[in-house]
Amino acid sequence: MLKINISKLELKEIKFKKKKEKDKKIYRRLQFLHLKYKGKTNREISDIIGVCPDTITDWARIYSNKGLNGLCKPINYNNRSSKINDYIGEIKQDIRKNTISTLAELQEWLKEKYSIEVEQSWLFRCCKKKLIYLTKKPV
């Protein structure tokens, strides 16, 4: 699990941004940081905010890599979908061959084979939208 350190100064900025924020998606990200500062676990935060635990992990990664401004910048999901659209057939073929059975494996495969990095929560929605079904590996 990724450790997030939030200073008192950052907390003050988070609280200020929460008061001003009108976009509910960004507000939830700020709420995540506030709850993380209070010592809540990712599971507790996901239950409180109403998002998937993988989304919380993605937000933690974004915050660690890009800071508060990076986390508060809305993600344009339309730009990323075009990166994957060219490979939908190949993704489905690899899944049929039973080489990909989890989102983490698919995420890693996209990164290794095509240098495409996406968050698991986005990848989950993409798979659902594009009718990509992961299969369990035979025992």
Is residue 109 assigned to a domain? Answer: yes
Which residue segment(s) compose the domain that 60 sits in? 8-71
Q: Give the residue with greater pLDDT, 80 vs 56.
A: 56
CA 32 – CA 40 distance, rounded (Å): 9
Residue 122 has pLDDT above 60, yes or no: yes
Is residue 118 assigned to a domain? Answer: yes
Residues 82 and 119 in one domain: yes
Could you say which DSSP state residue 132 is in? -
Domain end point (choices 71, 96, 112):
71
Q: 88: which 2 tokens?
A: 């939908």
Is residue 102 assigned to a domain? Answer: yes
CA 67 – CA 70 distance, rounded (Å): 5
For 21, the enclosing helix (H) or strand (E) is none
Is residue 89 assigned to a domain? Answer: yes
pLDDT for the residue 131: 87
Residues 67 and 94 in one domain: no
Is residue 138 assigned to a domain? Answer: no
